[in-house]
Amino acid sequence: MNDNGTWLAFAGLGRELTVSVAPGLDVTSLWNAIVILMPGWSVRETGPVENADVSISGTSSDFTIRAESWDGGIWKAAYANEVAYALAGMLIDGILALGQADFCLHAAAVEIDGRAVLFVGPSGAGKSTMALRLAAAWFAGALSWLHIQDFEFDAAIELGLLPHFLSGPARGSERFLLRRFQAVSSISPRMVDRLEGKGVPRERTAMFPNWVDTRRIRPDADGAAFRAELGIGADTVVALYSGNIGEKQGIEQIATAAKYVSENRGPGDPPVRFVLAGAGAGREVIEQAVRAHGLGEDAFTLLPLQPEEKLPVLLAMADIHLLPQRAEAADLVMPSKLGGMLSSGRPGTGARCGCEGAARPGGTGRGGGQLGS
């Protein structure tokens, strides 16, 4: 390091990026941290560079990491280790922005028998936790159990949400991973059967269905008060959908049904209000469908996802529950909202959803809802 700063070159993923470093930063600490954070990358000191890809400026405990050769923004840091973390992210961002990487995947990974297994999901979903737990379990020789709520990848392929060219490699990796668990469970008989088709021996599969607290979700919850809160009359028939609004449900069917009911209501028929409460990737789809059909507030009400404490009265407000599902996903996912619908004691109508065997005789006797297709 000299009075004018230092210039470093970082090489990885087929490209070299240059970084100008302010004189107030300990370059040795930065160098050592980057080597740990970015294995496989090489670092070398260069002479002065006129147009560095990244600049690190500032003094003492106030540093700014700025992308210079692409629109990568500015990061702030106080110490050498924080600068290293910020710079590592900046360099990866630069490789992507400058077109040197064909594909970027936000995932955690663990190596098993020389193969990398990736855990993909949104931030906070538990990717790193899952990878660390599996690594610890296999290292210690502990038994491991995988529970599957949805076959999300299969659903994405079947529904056209992902290109089919990914299906072969991804399904091969999935089969490899599933066979590494001593037990694999899922939430419906059809989904358990599907595990066998993925190479899991029958004796290592189990059905572990979802459940609902029937002491909370009850037919006698005060749904009338919640109706009044929404300005819905006691004589209005409420058709309710509550839960995640995903793309696999074909959620736009609800708006189509609301339009049909509105256009075909006879003089003596009671008013009907469709209510949708939830959030998710398909929210914009249903909002567009409601606008396209010209449905007013008296025919269709869109609510945000309701707090957990309001769930009993929300479900009790319904005269009929709605459970849309695209046919292609019927054997791949089972709506977890089904238990709450049945426990509320209200009838429901839905598409084919692979729900056979989800409800069993017995229990407290509360609820007793029916689901027709």
Please report the pLDDT score of residue 359 as a whole number. Answer: 47
Buried b / exposed e over 66-86, threshold 16 CB at 10 Å, is ebeebebeebebeebebbbbb
Which span out of 28-37, 173-182, 244-253, 327-336 was modeled with the highest average pLDDT? 173-182
The whole-number pLDDT of residue 330 equals 57
**Three-class SS of residue 351?**
coil
pLDDT band at 104 (very low <50, low <70, confident <90, very high): low
- Give the tens place of pLDDT for each residue, 11-52: 887 788 999 988 867 778 777 777 777 777 888 888 888 889
Mean pLDDT of the chain: 81
pLDDT of residue 279: 86
Give the CATH superfamily of 223-372: Glycogen Phosphorylase B; (3.40.50.2000)
The token pair that represents 54 in the structure block: 């990244």
pLDDT of residue 101: 54
Res. 363 pLDDT band, cuts 50 70 90: very low
Please report the pLDDT score of residue 70 as a whole number.
Answer: 85
Q: Which residues contact 324 (CB under 8 A, 6 or more apart)?
A: 241, 249, 250, 251, 253, 254, 350, 351
Q: Please give the pLDDT value at position 270.
A: 93
Neighbours of 359 (CB within 10 A): 17
Contact call for residues 340 and 212 (beta carbons, < 8 A) = yes
pLDDT band (50, 70, 90) for residue 123: confident
Residue-wise pLDDT tens digits, 287-335? 989 999 999 888 999 999 898 899 999 999 999 999 887 665 556 666 7
Give the global pTM. 0.58
**What's the pLDDT score for residue 72?**
79
| Separation of alpha carbons 217 and 80, rounded Å | 53
**Distance of CA 285 to CAs 44, 47, 196, 200, 279, Å?**
51, 55, 35, 37, 11
**Which residue did the predictor score with more confidence, 102 or 89?**
89
Confirm if 96 and 14 have CB atoms less than 8 A apart.
no
366 or 195, higher pLDDT? 195
Domain ranges of the chain: 6-97, 107-207, 223-372
Burial state string for 266-305 with b = 16 or more CB within 10 A and e = fewer than 16:
eeeeeebbbbbbbebebbebbeebbeebebeeebbbbeee
Q: What is the mean pLDDT of residues 77-90?
A: 81
In this predicted model, what pLDDT tens digit does every residue of 213-233 receive, in sequence order?
999 999 999 999 999 999 999
- Kindly tell me if the per-residue pLDDT of 209 is higher than 80: yes
User: Is pLDDT of 201 > 60?
Assistant: yes
